[in-house]
Amino acid sequence: MTKLKYCVLSLFAFALTTAFAQDSNILHTIADLEHRLQFEKFEVFRQHDARFEGDMAKTLIVRWSDQKVMRAKLKRAAYRGQATNNEPRYEIAAYRLQKLFLDPEEYVVPPTVLRSMPLEEYHKIEPYAVQLLTILRPCSSSSSTGWRTSIARKSTKKSALNRILCTRSIWET
C-alpha cells in the first residue's frame, strides 16, 4: 500500500528578476508560461528564501522537462487557502484583471497560477511543511508577487473543505 500523501496546491508566478531570468522567460509566450506553470513537471535547480531566512515565499530556478530553465516564485497558501496577508486569490485576480485591458506584451503582472503537487514532492522545497493544501503564489524580482498557500494537514476542524483535503491525504493505492 503506497500512501499518496498530501497534495499541495500551489500558486505560481514568475518573476523576471535577473537578466538571466528575463532572457529565458521572455522567450516564451504568455500561453506557454501559463501552461508550464499550471501543468508541466519541473525540478528545482536552485532555491532561496525570497526576502529573509525562513521566509515562506521561495524564489526558485526551475528546470522543465525540455531542460529549459526559468525563475519563479512560490509561496505556500495559508490554512484553508486564505489568511491575512496571504490571499493567493488576490494574486491571481491581479493577473487576470490586467487581461481585461492590456495586450499580453503589455502585462505588468507576471503569469500567476494556482497549482497542486503532492506534499512529498513539495518537501524537496520545504522539507518540514505539513500543509495538506498549499497554494503557491507569485514571485517577483524586487518585491513581490510570489506566493503560495497551504491548508494545514492535521486540522481537526470539520469544514467540508478540510474533509476533502483530509480525504485526499489518506488516499491509498
Contacting positions for another protein (CB under 8 A):
4, 7, 9, 11, 38-39, 80-82, 87-90, 92-93, 96-97, 99-101, 113-116, 133, 135, 159-161, 164, 167-168, 171, 173
**Closer to another protein at the Cβ: 62 or 114?**
114
**Closer to another protein at the Cβ: 65 or 159?**
159
Sole residue written with cell 491548508: 151
For strand 131-136 and strand 112-118, is the pairing parallel, antiparallel, or unpaired? unpaired
**Closer to another protein at the Cβ: 24 or 82?**
82
| 8-state DSSP, 3 | B
* Min CB(40)–another protein separation in Å: 12
CA-CA distance, 127 to 2, in Å (whole number)?
20
* Min CB(100)–another protein separation in Å: 5
Q: Give the total residue count for the chain.
A: 173
* Min CB(118)–another protein separation in Å: 9
CA-CA distance, 104 to 155, in Å (whole number)?
41
* Min CB(89)–another protein separation in Å: 4
The answer to whether the CB of 45 falls within 8 A of the CB of 67 is no
Give the cell for residue 136: 503557491
